[in-house]
A = this chain, B = another copy of it.
């Protein structure tokens, strides 16, 4: 007799980890909508609208703005594999796990990687990037705007100028910032950015929005050989998302419904109001943590409103605390990655999850567990 599988009935979870984040009811309902085919004229309108909404969210006029049909990490690999050819030089600014990922992925595509590193949780000054570029020129400079492993926010002002002065392209990871804190591609001179739907945009994991400047696009157009990854080939993807509507792969109506609805919610709230909400709820969290003698890992100047790493106090069992939060309060927070494993909890207040009452609940639960 075949094994039987129970009805889908997951326990409730308040997702306050590093992602996925809580998905708002309107987005969940959108995903229960019957599908349109990928060439249906009504679907093509939804694609155009989604791209327009993404441009507004990224604060850019970049024509080449679309979601990759995969998760955020595929956004990173799409950008790197399209911009870099074997032997091309990449400068990575790494102060956390995802900075390291940039190197790891770029090496797969044959790039020559130079890495400047800072202790986890810190940020780079434009002068430090300039010094590195003076020592060794690069075709592309990659930096993480919001480091999900540490909860640090990289100030972006001035970096685009430095990178462009040295003839390079600026790539920015904004997986954990887009829709939660200011992201301004054009103002900052970012040439290529990638994000994910499951953090501050209020969607499920499944799409990776990317945006590339005309300058970055020109670099791709002038490649000596085609990019290695057919599925991530932006030249081919642009032919489906653009007016040619050439079939490449079957873009998921369900995922586009979800992203479009999440972005509609962003626009209804307004970007400024949304950034302010994330900031206010993060400050409420930070103040509440202080009352519990809990200390964020990152210094106030670089602290990311959408994700806070909290030092585990001496004598407290990191994993057991997370388990009790989950089993007794139905709250998910994240564990530390790499060198921070066992040393921090990661608390995300992203998108729909960034609500005052969620912070009140988390603080109350921590107060009870840690007393």
A13-21, A212-220, A292-300: which lies at the interface: A13-21
Bound-state CA distance A322–B29 (Å) is: 30
Closest to A73 in B: B249
A34-42, A137-145, A164-172, A360-368: which lies at the interface: A34-42
Known contacts A205-B254, A206-B69; A229 and B261 CB within 8 A of each other: no
Inter-subunit contact B108/A228 (CB<8 Å): yes
* A249 contact set on B, CB distance < 8 A: 71-74
* A19 contact set on B, CB distance < 8 A: 250
A158 close to B (CB within 8 Å): no
Q: Mostly helix, strand, loop or mixed at chain A's interface?
A: loop
Inter-subunit contact A205/B250 (CB<8 Å): yes
Known contacts A20-B250, A36-B13, A249-B72; A105 and B230 CB within 8 A of each other: yes
Inter-subunit contact A252/B8 (CB<8 Å): no
Q: Which residues of A does B touch, CB under 8 Å?
A: 2-3, 5, 8, 10-13, 15, 17, 19-20, 22-23, 28-40, 42-43, 46, 49, 52-53, 56, 69-74, 77, 81, 104-105, 108-109, 196, 198, 204-206, 226-232, 247-255, 257-258, 260-261, 264, 267, 326, 332, 334-335, 337
3 cross-chain pairs, A with B, having the tightest CB-CB distances, nearest first: A204-B254, A205-B252, A32-B32
Can you list 13 contacts pairing A with B, beta carbon distance less than 8 Å? A5-B49, A10-B34, A13-B35, A13-B36, A15-B37, A22-B35, A70-B74, A71-B249, A73-B249, A109-B228, A205-B251, A205-B255, A247-B337
